[in-house]
Amino acid sequence: MEIKTVMVIGAGQMGAGIAQVCAMAGYEVTLHDIKEEIIEKGVFAIQQNIYRAVEKSRMTEVEAEDTLQKICTSTHLHAAAHVDVVIEAAVENMETKTNIFRQLDEITPKHTILATNTSSLPITEIAAATKRQDKVIGMHFMNPVPVMKLVEIIRGLATSQTVFETIEAMAIKLNKIPVEVRDYPGFVSNRILMPMINEAIYSLYEGVASKEAIDNVMKLGMNHPMGPLTLADFIGLDTCLYIMETLHQGFGDDKYRPCPLLRKYVAAGWLGKKVGKGFYEYS
């Protein structure tokens, strides 16, 4: 199946990045969110990235203009009426996602593939909100999207082989490397990463070491490019909490219990880099 038009739902850190790489690969993109000012922020982030690429001679000015012109915006889900693929990157919450998928199932043409960038939620359950379970699939990008090579591709129970192959080919066209993963909570990436981050937060909570010390141990001792608390700030502490809750609920094992300190930070609105404050402060 040939894909020409893509809609990205959610213009946050992931949605903006996904819209950017889709436009760079030549797709016509509609970037959707619930509020105009959020979309403006998302488009601004894309422009900054593209202009930086021109400065570093990774893109010509003409290519930059072409890319930016491929992105239009909308606060109405009805803009999905003419797209071939939707990639949903709204908040990591099952009710929000199933609501969006239920509406998309009504609005989009029969052939439209509905993909979700969920970090941890069951694809099969999201698909069950639609009458096209064969056309629902997980397409899990990594943060920051323009930089990171991996896309986890997750089939729901009913996802068709054609849809899987179409999305796999699309990921390659986006200059990414697709890896197939089965539909279990957190897939592979967050099943391994998030308990490590949660354990780092427990180490801080129990006073084992300072935040800087915890990050330094993992950077200098394990050769991680950034420490787990910094990484948590970059991911978003609300997203980290949602993922830990999904793992805890999905596996029913207490080893996935979210750290109370993580809950406290989220309750305080200290969600990490995107709001300027998490474990660290950002200007």
- Which sequence positions are flagged as catalytic? 119, 140, 152, 190
Name the residue nearer to ligand NAI (CB basis): 59 or 238. 238
Check if the beta carbon of residue 32 is closer than 8 Å to that of residue 6: no
Tokens of 94: 């099952």
Distance CA 52, CA 65 (A): 13
- Continuous H helices in the chain: 13-24, 36-55, 61-69, 94-107, 123-127, 161-173, 189-205, 211-216, 222, 228-235, 237-251, 260-267
Name the residue nearer to ligand NAI (CB basis): 13 or 166. 13
Minimum separation from the CB atom of position 71 to ligand NAI (A): 16
Interaction residues for ligand NAI, span 116-175 (CB under 6 A): 117-119, 140-141, 143
10 counts as binding ligand NAI under rule CB under 6 A: yes
Give the three-state DSSP class for 188: coil
Q: Which stretch binds ligand NAI (CB under 6 A): 167-175, 210-218, 235-243, 261-269?
A: 235-243
Q: Which of 3, 6, 8, 9 binds ligand NAI (CB under 6 A)?
A: 9
Count of alpha carbons within 13 Å of 202, Cβ hemisphere only? 12
Minimum separation from the CB atom of position 206 to ligand NAI (A): 25
Q: Angle of helix 260-267 relative to helix 189-205, nearest 10 degrees?
A: 90
Q: Which of 14, 24, 59, 114 binds ligand NAI (CB under 6 A)?
A: 14
Q: Which of 133, 203, 239, 246 binds ligand NAI (CB under 6 A)?
A: 239
Check if the beta carbon of residue 77 is closer than 8 Å to that of residue 100: yes
Minimum separation from the CB atom of position 13 to ligand NAI (A): 4
Residue appearing with tokens 């354990």: 199
Q: Which stretch binds ligand NAI (CB under 6 A): 22-30, 43-51, 114-122, 154-162?
A: 114-122
Footprint on this chain of ligand NAI (rule: CB under 6 A):
9-15, 33-34, 38, 89-92, 96, 100, 117-119, 140-141, 143, 235-236, 239, 274
